[in-house]
Amino acid sequence: MGEFKEERQEEQHPLKRVQTYIPDFRGYSRKEDLKDADRMIRMILSQKLTLARKNIEDSVRILENALLYEDVDALVSLLSMVKRIESEIAYAESGLSWLASDMSLGEEELERLYEFDAQLLDIATLVLKKSEETKSASSAGNRPNIKSSFVDLRTKLTILEDTFRKRMLSLNRLE
């Protein structure tokens, strides 16, 4: 059932997918909405990453108490990655000068931007879900699931970071 929902969501227009995460999101079509839309996207991404970071921090504490230091070391490196990406998204400044200019976006640029935003929100949601699974596996002392979640989280975080950088490069090209 969940797969069908995800598949159906993938078929939606990227703007509609973004609006499933941010109901008040009006998009980039009106000049006065540009900065607000960008801020909303990055705020939601940051919130999801903050929650994921807290889950990983909880996992580290749980594993330290259980004396599973090998797993702690792996999660600490993951924690560092989450903090870096969280900061990069929250404080990114490049690519935003077009928001203050008189330039408007064409249909192709809008589509590309909405697709990036939808992908970022989808991936950040998966990161949060995996961080919750990691916390559950840590609480249960389930080392195979901890390791599996760690690998999945690292992969998804790498994809998130790459997608965010591509989005910012795309915005820089609009200047």
Task: Assess if residue 19 is contained within a domain.
Answer: no
The domain in which residue 101 lies consists of 29-173
Query: Per the structure, how many domains does the chain have?
Result: 1
Residue 36 is assigned to a structural domain of this protein? yes
Give 60-96 pLDDT, tens digit per residue.
Answer: 999 999 887 888 888 999 999 999 999 999 887 644 5
Quick one: what percent of the chain has pLDDT higher than 70? Answer: 82
The DSSP string of 73-109 is HHHHHHHHHHHHHHHHHHH--TT-HHHHSS----HHH
Q: CATH number of the domain at 149, please.
A: 1.20.120
97 in any annotated domain? yes
CA atoms of 17 and 86, how far apart (whole Å): 22
Please indicate, yes or no, if residue 162 is contained in any of the structural domains. yes
Judged against a pLDDT cut of 90, whether residue 3 lies above it is answered with: no
pLDDT at residue 2 is higher than 70: no
In-domain check, residue 6: no
Q: What six digits make up the tokens of 128? A: 């949060």
Asked if residue 1 belongs to a domain, the reply is: no
